Amino acid sequence: MTATGPGGDGKLLVLAADHRPRGVPTIERYDAYLAALRAALDHCDGLLASAQPLGDLAADGAVRPGQRTYLSLNRTGLAGSAFELDDRLVATVGRAATDGWTGIKLMTRIAPDDPAGAAAIELLGRVLEEAHDAGLEALIEPVVWRDGRMSHVTDDVVLGAVIAHDLGAPLLKVPVPDAPVGGPRAEAIRRVVEAVGVPVLFLGGPRRPDGGSVVDLARDVMAGRGAGLAVGRVVIEDPDPAGVAGRLAGIVHAP
């Protein structure tokens, strides 16, 4: 499958709602969390979420016909825990197919200093085969993990993207390379995009005090020929999630 937005422009803005089960705080009150997601989702092309919010938002009609739905599969690697890199399945491709979602999302952390790291890549290969057989799109988030955190070094972003791509990932979600805002960052993004032959979405990251920074990020991603953005906290923790999502959608889908 290829990434095709509702307008047929090949661009995507995906709303990410799978942070909480990995121990990453967002909005504590569940009703407020869903309300923020509903407000933002109206401007997005798809929703990436763990089982409960994905099911609840679909059940109450917040997910529109034609929007993509990705079930997040592996969330056992709780943030900051001793077993953070042991990221196993909490849902299956079969569950995604049975529930009627259009795809699955898998995070693959590539940690060169982890002796057990081969298991994560093996899991990636198995999930890609299962998704292919089930006719579901696989949104893969490959990240190189160094010094206990996600690396934003351009070489590492390229490495993760290439590994997942060459194993058959049809759609990627990767960190934004750490480069100066503007031309240098757009060129680093272009390098990632040109290293693979499938659409690449870039992470929005956490909410920043400077609300305009995510807008600058979106401009750099699209200038670097990214396929779009996968955004979560930067949108849903904002006082105006619909407004932020609308601005990002305007940049992603600009003519």
Looking up residue 64, the CATH number of its domain turns out to be 3.20.20.70
- 38 is a domain residue: yes
Residue 4 predicted with pLDDT over 50: no
- Residues 57-85, mean pLDDT to the nearest whole number: 97
- Residues 191-203, mean pLDDT to the nearest whole number: 98
CA distance 113 to 255: 44
- 93 is a domain residue: yes
**Cβ-Cβ contacts under 8 Å for 200 (sequence gap 6 or more):** 161, 172, 173, 174, 192, 193, 226, 227
What band does 206 get if pLDDT is binned at 50, 70 and 90?
confident
Residue 207 predicted with pLDDT over 90: no
C-alpha Rg value of the chain to the nearest Å: 17
Q: What are phi and psi for residue 123, nearest 5 degrees?
A: -60, -40
- 232 is a domain residue: yes
Total residues found in the chain within this entry: 255
Determine contact, residues 11/199, Cβ cutoff 8 Å: no
Q: What are phi and psi for residue 144, nearest 5 degrees?
A: -85, 130
Strands 46-49 and 68-72: parallel
CB atoms within 10 A of CB 232: 24
Give the pLDDT confidence of 118-129 residue by residue, as tens digits: 999 999 999 999
- 100 is a domain residue: yes
What band does 212 get if pLDDT is binned at 50, 70 and 90?
low
- Residues 151-156, mean pLDDT to the nearest whole number: 98
Domain count of the fold of the chain: 1
Q: How far is CA 71 from the centre of its chain?
A: 11
- Residues 42-71, mean pLDDT to the nearest whole number: 97
**Mean pLDDT of all residues belonging to the chain:** 94
Residue 24 predicted with pLDDT over 70: yes
Give the pLDDT confidence of 9-19 residue by residue, as tens digits: 899 999 999 99
- 188 is a domain residue: yes
What band does 210 get if pLDDT is binned at 50, 70 and 90?
low
Q: For position 34, what pLDDT does the model report?
A: 98
CA distance 201 to 218: 10
CB atoms within 10 A of CB 252: 26
Give the pLDDT confidence of 230-249 residue by residue, as tens digits: 999 999 999 999 999 999 99
Q: Give the residue among 40, 22, 29 at the shortest CA–CA distance from 242.
A: 40
Task: Extract the runs of DSSP E, i.e. beta strands, from 43-199.
Answer: 46-49, 68-72, 103-110, 137-146, 149-150, 171-174
Sign of CA dihedral 81, 241, 89, 195: negative
- 96 is a domain residue: yes
CB atoms within 10 A of CB 16: 29
Please report, to the nearest 10 degrees, the dihedral formed by the alpha carbons of residues 158, 15, 3, 138 taken in order.
Answer: 70
- 161 is a domain residue: yes
Question: Domain range for residue 53?
Answer: 12-252
What band does 169 get if pLDDT is binned at 50, 70 and 90?
very high
Determine contact, residues 173/138, Cβ cutoff 8 Å: no
- Residues 99-112, mean pLDDT to the nearest whole number: 97
- 88 is a domain residue: yes
Q: For position 31, what pLDDT does the model report?
A: 98
